[in-house]
């Protein structure tokens, strides 16, 4: 008997990750053909009708895009304060895609957009150390000892230690330009790390996320990610998961 595991079926709709689908199933929020299903390994057959919170779902064709976020836009679908969001720059047919992680309003650079819930989870889950690379400029000359402290880890919030790999590209008394690689996903991590030492971040641009980068993109532009690039990305994630 062939079929698709229920959690995978839910994730393939773009609703959520497979881990979140497990929670929905265990909480009794999933019905198949009018019956609540709590069995994680339940197989969905071709004619079955699946509902999550009484809304019918269907597998969606997975889509993947790179987007070069400009400054002045927040990374969310909707904003209660009426601020501009990245979806103001995207066509309606991409409105159902979700960003992989976030960039704050003043930051620019690469965002991956997709409806592949499993991929979103793999790229953002704290247990997977996925590299994200940024170009960062601060408003003064950063001390070598402070860079070493950031590499070793500093507490930016109670109980939260942040660290970063930092390569200085240009430095003088008025600014320091760096390439910074993060393996964590803390909110405003880079800004908080430099604020800890009294610096102000003037430029923050993400140039790479895992194997994907900004090559060929202009600010505000988006392009589909090629199948070969997705294969490379998934192979990379498999490797770091197995290390």
In this prediction, residue 52 carries a pLDDT of 96
Catalytic residue among 48, 104, 106, 232: 104
CATH code of the domain containing 139 = 3.30.2350.10
Q: Across residues 6-20, what is the average pLDDT?
A: 85
79 and 46 both lie in a single domain: no
* C-alpha dihedral, 86 to 89 to 91 to 94, nearest 10°: -20
* pLDDT of res. 15: 83
Q: For all residues of the chain together, what is the average pLDDT?
A: 92
Distance, CA of 198 to CA of 176 (rounded, Å): 13
Give residue 79's pLDDT: 72
Number of domains in the chain: 3
Closest CA to 109 of 88, 87, 132, 125: 132
Q: Which of 99, 115, 113, 98 is nearest to 58 (CA)?
A: 115
Residue range 99-121: mean pLDDT, rounded? 93
Do 78 and 173 lie in one domain? The reply is no
CATH number of the domain bearing residue 87:
3.30.70.580
Q: Is 239 part of any domain?
A: no
pLDDT in tens, 24-55: 999 999 999 999 999 988 999 989 999 999 99
pLDDT for 228: 97
Q: Tell me, yes or no, whether 237 lies in a domain.
A: no
Q: Are residues 117 and 140 in the same domain?
A: no
Instruction: Based on the fold, state whether residues 203 and 138 are members of the same structural domain.
Output: yes
232: in domain? no
Are 220 and 114 part of one and the same domain? yes
**The two structure tokens encoding residue 17:** 């990750």
Residues 121 and 158 both lie in one domain: no
For strands 201-209 and 108-114, give the pairing: parallel
Segments forming the whole domain that contains residue 116: 64-126+211-225
Q: What is the pLDDT of residue 222?
A: 96
Same-domain pairing of 104 and 220: yes
- pLDDT on residue 81: 79
* pLDDT at residue 17, as a whole number: 79
Residue 1 has pLDDT above 70, yes or no: no
Whether residue 15 sits in one domain with residue 50: yes
Shared domain check, 73 and 47: no
In a domain, 144, yes or no: yes
Residues 216, 196 share a domain: no
Examine residue 42 and state whether it is found in any structural domain, yes or no.
yes
pLDDT in tens, 161-205: 999 999 999 999 999 999 999 999 888 999 999 999 999 999 999
CA distance 233 to 230: 5
Contact predicate 65/115, CB 8 Å: no
Instruction: Tell me, yes or no, if 104 is annotated catalytic.
Output: yes
Among the three residues 22, 37, 57, which one is the final residue of a domain in this structure?
A: 57
Q: What confidence score (pLDDT) does residue 127 get?
A: 82
Do 188 and 145 share a domain, yes or no? yes
Q: Are residues 190 and 143 part of one domain? A: yes
């Amino acid at each position: 008997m062939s079929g698709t595991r229920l959690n995978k079926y839910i994730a393939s709709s773009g609703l959520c990750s497979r881990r979140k689908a497990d929670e929905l199933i265990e909480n009794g929020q999933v019905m198949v053909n009018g019956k609540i299903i709590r069995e994680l390994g339940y197989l969905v057959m071709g004619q079955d009708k699946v509902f999550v919170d009484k809304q019918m779902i269907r597998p969606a064709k997975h889509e993947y895009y790179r987007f070069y976020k400009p400054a002045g836009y927040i990374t969310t679908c909707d904003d209660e304060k009426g601020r501009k969001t990245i979806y103001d720059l995207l066509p309606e047919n991409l409105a159902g895609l979700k960003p992989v992680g976030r960039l704050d309003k003043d930051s620019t650079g690469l965002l991956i957009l997709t409806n592949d819930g499993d991929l979103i989870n793999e790229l953002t889950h704290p247990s997977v150390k996925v590299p994200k690379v940024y170009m960062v400029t601060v408003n003064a000359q950063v001390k070598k000892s402070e860079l070493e402290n950031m590499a070793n880890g500093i507490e930016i919030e109670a109980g939260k230690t942040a660290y970063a790999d930092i390569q200085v590209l240009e430095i003088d008394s008025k600014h320091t330009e760096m390439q910074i690689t993060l393996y964590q996903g803390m909110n405003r991590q880079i800004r908080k790390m430099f604020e800890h030492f009294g610096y102000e971040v003037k430029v923050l641009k993400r140039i790479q996320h895992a194997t994907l980068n900004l090559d060929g993109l202009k600010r505000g532009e988006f392009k589909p990610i090629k199948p070969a690039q997705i294969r490379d990305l998934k192979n990379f994630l498999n490797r770091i998961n197995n290390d």
